Amino acid sequence: MCAVFEQWDITSSVGLTALGVASARAVETDRADPLVSDPYAAAFVRAADSPRPLPARLEDTSVAGDGWFRHSRYLGVRSRFFDEYFAASTAAGIHQVVLLAAGLDTRAYRLDWPDGCELYEVDQPKVLAFKRTVLDEQAASARCRRHEVATDLRDDWESALLGAGFDPRRPTAWLAEGLLPYLPGRAEEGLFEVIHRLSAAGSRLAVERASIDRLATLRDHPLFREAFEEFGADVSQLWNAEPRRDCADWLRSAGWTAAAESAQQAGQRYGLPMDDPFDEVMGTATLLTATREHG
């Protein structure tokens, strides 16, 4: 990749997917029994000039059968799972956090962080700029020391993270949520190699995974076509089907302990049976957590 790579904004290409996730979180937040409460998600949706207006409230989704409505439940499960991962990581004494492809994730603003916690958000420059504008308008203030790392994760993001002040001697809690399908095979493998290289003993990692084979079979699924129609963009065209190593196997071979739970299993733990056809599709996504016990 050349030094000057293409950039996408919040209403184009992969940037638009960040807005879609924010919309789902806004809808979930608006429910009587939300799995995640994100007070800023709706503001992102309203501020964006997206090709099609996305739901910012529960009533914006039509009926319970609506694809967006069901998508928001999956996003609720995924968000809750990773919120709990961060609570456990900081309780274990980790004070350094990296959100890879942070998008419009507002955990820096809505979760409790310990004193002295440093949090790094890595994403494309224009996505981070949009986020900053909206959060400034909302007078939001981060509950930790938040650092923006505007870079491309297919490029030399390791230097960008170190340049922003990241300290590889401190244990870190990493998150890759909603990212892997957009990366070429080699970039995904390189991502885990960099994480491993920068992880002191005691570091943790959480990853949302959907197998590439599985994603390929989803492209033409009627429920996904319906969701893309509502979204106004065929996100599946952004999914990269290049082969890549299984990241859990690779992490174990590099000395990490790794455990996985399906979204369906996590949903059951949260009292949300994911049992309609859309959920059966999304429920197979894997929520992986890993720990590096020794440096």
Q: Which is nearer to ligand SAM, 152 or 276 (CB)?
A: 152
Q: What is the DSSP letter of 233?
A: S
Alpha-carbon distances, residue 116 vs 86, 144, 169 (angstroms): 15, 7, 15
Cα 262 to the center of its chain, rounded Å? 16
CB of 152 to ligand SAM, least distance (A): 4
Does 14 bind ligand SAM (CB under 6 A)? Our answer is yes
Position 264: which residue type?
A: Q
Residues 16-35 that bind ligand SAM (CB under 6 A): 17-18, 21
Does 173 bind ligand SAM (CB under 6 A)? Our answer is no
Does 77 bind ligand SAM (CB under 6 A)? Our answer is no
Strand order of the sheet with strand 256-262? 145-150, 118-123, 96-100, 172-176, 204-209, 286-292, 256-262
Does 178 bind ligand SAM (CB under 6 A)? Our answer is yes
CB of 3 to ligand SAM, least distance (A): 14
Distance separating alpha carbons of residues 83 and 270, to the nearest angstrom: 13
Q: What is the DSSP letter of 139?
A: T
Does 15 bind ligand SAM (CB under 6 A)? Our answer is yes
Q: What is the DSSP letter of 61?
A: S
Q: Which is nearer to ligand SAM, 154 or 196 (CB)?
A: 154
Where are the strands (E) in the chain, listed by range?
A: 96-100, 118-123, 145-150, 172-176, 204-209, 256-262, 286-292
Residues 122-161 that bind ligand SAM (CB under 6 A): 123-124, 127, 152-154
106 CB contacts (<8 Å, ≥6 apart)?
38, 39, 40, 41, 135, 140
CB of 183 to ligand SAM, least distance (A): 6
Q: Which is nearer to ligand SAM, 7 or 262 (CB)?
A: 7
- H/E segment holding residue 42: helix 41-47
HSE-CB of 210 using CA atoms within 13 angstroms: 25
CB of 106 to ligand SAM, least distance (A): 9
- H/E segment holding residue 69: helix 67-91
Does 106 bind ligand SAM (CB under 6 A)? Our answer is no
Distance separating alpha carbons of residues 15 and 101, to the nearest angstrom: 10
CB of 63 to ligand SAM, least distance (A): 25
**Interface size with ligand SAM, residues (CB under 6 A):** 20
Q: Which is nearer to ligand SAM, 174 or 182 (CB)?
A: 182
Smallest CA-to-CA distance from 178 within 54, 81, 257 is with: 81
Q: Looking at 108-116, 119-127, 211-219, 280-288, which segment touches ligand SAM (CB under 6 A)?
A: 119-127
Q: Looking at 12-20, 30-38, 221-229, 257-265, which segment touches ligand SAM (CB under 6 A)?
A: 12-20
Residues 85-104 that bind ligand SAM (CB under 6 A): 101-104
One of 28, 118, 177, 188 touching ligand SAM (CB under 6 A): 177
Residue number with the shortest CB distance to ligand SAM? 103
Binding residues for ligand SAM, per CB under 6 A? 14-15, 17-18, 21, 101-105, 123-124, 127, 152-154, 177-179, 182
